[in-house]
Structure 1
């Protein structure tokens, strides 16, 4: 059965309206997903499903909307796709905790980096359905705005590496 990684967008992990990872896991089980594992409290879940990626996405988004009362976007990647995102990192010498992949539903437009604002020492490259960003001075100080990434969700390379490992089945959390 195929393994998937689902990355939730704009998950509030603290305060009012938060989504506990136990609730996310329960939603996945309710959707019929198997071997469900969450990873850190930022909306990352790994599971197996007989469904194809579009149906996985739809099933999870439907449950999240019912829970949250508003749409919650989800980026879905297969185990092979998440491993490929990690392997395709165009910034191998940059610190992995300061380098992210912004996951998108569709391939970014070729001119996706044209309208960027606030760029300082960040480097950016386009991926298949991702935009990679290496934050030279760190994300906390960055003023970078990438309009093409507005509907995406970012994970740093350390998180992506762990999710790829979990999706490959190398470890149970």
Structure 2
């Protein structure tokens, strides 16, 4: 175990129960990160169902998927990182891909996100991947700073614009 700001954390491979927790966390967070114009057109329940269905489809599509779980000194699951493989949508080249990373708010800013990212890089290198990618919300400044400090750079920027006034739909 390594020390991170006075608390000891342990990283381990996730089990079936951890996958359930990770997918629930992902689905719950999806509503909170949805842009306002899309929130007006759906519900938290619909976003939860769609996120859960998409994540399960990715897991069931085959390929390599690995869940890294962070535990505190009491053995509680306080964070996770889901890493797997994906193909670049333009080149078709396989690479490591982070599908989700999460650290409980009370355990943030202690180096745990960095440890999870470095462990994912290690696993991908071990598999022979030459690069690793992921998506991050443009407004998540703290996460973007972490990723940039680890050497990641922006490859694509997705933009959108509502074409109709959702209030009149």
Q: Which TM bucket (shorter chain)?
A: under 0.3
Bigger RCO of structures 1 and 2 (CA < 8 A, at least 6 apart):
1
Q: TM-score, normalised by structure 1?
A: 0.23
Normalising by structure 2, we get a TM-score of 0.23
Q: Rg larger in 1 or in 2?
A: 2
Structure with bigger helix share is 2
